[in-house]
């Protein structure tokens, strides 16, 4: 299944215009806030993976002697961005992210556009301030096509900010069967926004258990931890759910390496015969400067999805991209 003829017929003209306006607004925001655009590799080792390595998409490469080397299409450019911050401070990159999704859902794609930024002069509160400002700029860019009271409220009103434990308590009071330590599912994410006046909502300070029970919260090993919580934030958008994930990074190489060895990612690498030493270059980066950076990844299609939802209710993420790649939209 593909949409090539629908694109030719102009059925996705509004979608293309919306994406262009929102991406243009994002780049203008980055320029106004002293972020420099950089390019990072799309073919990586395991270091291009997020917290759940089994979703990595393998690709065959060959070394100078013609020997096959197992590598992956990147999920995130975060670790490379952290290297750039040592020399340039505020940097960003925009490119495809690839994840081996195996289920057909209304919120997952195998290939999507990821906007990532990183900087060394803000921590968690400043990170959320930057994310909120950027998302509002993107929403403002969409107003020519989707002007209305709902989108205007996202722009005019402050985003909610609650801790993970506050979010769990809110859900429990509203009849959701969720316990402390459980991850928030799509339904819970959308419900939190709806309960809190239908506005975008940051959820912060998730548990830092490196190996939670099945269905528990798993956060990337490089995130800074303090007193049993992770210095992180997820931005939940109405009708789209989690659309941005960000955190303060652990800047101490020894502590970060310890968190890596304790993580599910380390176990997954060993189980699949991937050498964990692939991450050594990243730990070297952490020793090049004092302190740490903070940054995030923004799923562009989910932000677009949240805009389209202002007019059409609860659209699939596949309404936010002209030529989606997911298990139900694959053609050789």
Q: Do residues 77 and 95 make contact, with C-beta atoms less than 8 angstroms apart?
A: yes
Q: Is 90 helix (H, G, I), strand (E, B) or coil?
A: coil
Nearest to 191 by CA among 205, 208, 171, 173: 171
Sign of CA dihedral 249, 220, 207, 110: positive
313 confidence band (pLDDT: 50, 70, 90): confident
Q: Do residues 325 and 104 make contact, with C-beta atoms less than 8 angstroms apart?
A: no
Q: Measured between alpha carbons, how far is 164 from 34 in angstroms, rounded to an integer?
A: 31
Q: Do residues 297 and 134 make contact, with C-beta atoms less than 8 angstroms apart?
A: no
Q: Measured between alpha carbons, how far is 129 from 92 in angstroms, rounded to an integer?
A: 16
238 confidence band (pLDDT: 50, 70, 90): very high
Name the region of 13 (left: φ>0; alpha: ψ -120 to 50; beta: rest): alpha
What pLDDT score was predicted for residue 50? 82
pLDDT tens by residue, 114-163: 999 999 999 999 999 999 999 999 999 999 999 999 999 999 999 999 99
* 228 pLDDT higher than 70: yes
What separation in angstroms does the CA of 208 have from each of 198, 246, 262, 318? 28, 14, 11, 33
SS (H, E, C) 180-239: CCECCCHHHHHHHHHHCCCCCEEEECCECCCCCCCCECCCCCCECEECCEECEEEEEECC
* 314 pLDDT higher than 80: no
Alpha carbon dihedral 217, 218, 221, 227, in 10-degree steps, equals 10
Q: Measured between alpha carbons, how far is 188 from 209 in angstroms, rounded to an integer?
A: 21
Q: Do residues 36 and 85 make contact, with C-beta atoms less than 8 angstroms apart?
A: no
Q: Over range 252-267, report the average pLDDT.
A: 96
Q: Over range 248-272, report the average pLDDT.
A: 96
What pLDDT score was predicted for residue 169? 98
- Report which of residues 117 and 328 the model is more confident about: 117
Q: Is 85 helix (H, G, I), strand (E, B) or coil?
A: helix
What pLDDT score was predicted for residue 27? 98
Q: Over range 277-284, report the average pLDDT.
A: 96
Q: Over range 36-47, report the average pLDDT.
A: 96
Backbone angles phi, psi at 269, to 5 degrees: -60, -50
Q: Over range 255-272, report the average pLDDT.
A: 95
pLDDT tens by residue, 158-183: 999 999 999 999 999 999 999 999 99
CATH class of this structure's domain 4-319? alpha beta
User: Beta partners for 31?
Assistant: none
Tokens of 88: 């340039």
What pLDDT score was predicted for residue 332? 63
Q: Measured between alpha carbons, how far is 47 from 238 in angstroms, rounded to an integer?
A: 31
What separation in angstroms does the CA of 252 have from each of 72, 77, 258, 284? 27, 20, 10, 10
What are the residue ranges spanned by the domains of the chain?
4-319
pLDDT > 70: percent of the chain:
99
- Report which of residues 245 and 326 the model is more confident about: 245
For residue 49, how many other CB atoms are within 10 A of its CB?
25
What pLDDT score was predicted for residue 275? 94
What pLDDT score was predicted for residue 137? 98
């Amino acid at each position: 299944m593909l949409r090539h003829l629908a694109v030719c017929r102009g059925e996705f003209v509004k979608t293309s215009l919306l994406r262009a306006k929102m991406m243009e607004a994002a780049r203008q925001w980055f320029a106004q806030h002293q972020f420099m655009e950089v390019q990072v590799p799309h073919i990586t080792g395991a270091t291009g993976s997020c917290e759940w390595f089994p979703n990595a998409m393998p690709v065959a490469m060959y070394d100078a002697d013609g020997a096959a080397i197992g590598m992956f299409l990147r999920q995130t450019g975060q670790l490379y961005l952290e290297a750039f911050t040592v020399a340039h401070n505020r940097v960003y990159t925009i490119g495809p992210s690839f994840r081996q999704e195996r289920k057909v859902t209304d919120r997952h794609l195998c290939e999507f556009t990821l906007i990532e930024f990183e900087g060394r002069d803000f921590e968690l509160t400043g990170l959320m301030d930057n994310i909120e400002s950027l998302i509002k700029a993107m929403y403002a860019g969409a107003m020519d096509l989707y002007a209305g009271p709902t989108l205007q409220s996202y722009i005019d009103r402050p985003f909610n900010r609650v801790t993970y434990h506050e979010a769990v308590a809110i859900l429990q009071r509203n009849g959701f069967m969720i316990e402390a330590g459980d991850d928030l599912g799509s339904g819970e994410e959308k419900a939190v926004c709806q309960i809190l006046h239908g506005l975008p909502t940051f959820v912060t300070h998730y548990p830092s258990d490196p190996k939670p029970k099945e269905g528990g919260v798993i956060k990337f090993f490089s995130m800074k931890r303090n007193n049993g919580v992770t210095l992180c934030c997820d931005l939940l958008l109405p009708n789209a759910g989690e659309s941005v994930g960000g955190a303060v990074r652990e800047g101490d190489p020894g502590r970060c390496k310890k968190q890596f060895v304790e993580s599910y990612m380390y176990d997954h690498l060993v189980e699949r015969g991937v050498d964990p030493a692939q991450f050594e270059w990243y730990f070297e980066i952490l020793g090049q400067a004092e302190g740490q950076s903070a940054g995030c990844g923004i799923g562009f299609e989910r932000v677009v999805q949240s805009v389209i939802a202002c007019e059409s209710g609860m659209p699939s993420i596949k309404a936010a991209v002209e030529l989606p790649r997911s298990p139900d939209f694959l053609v050789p």
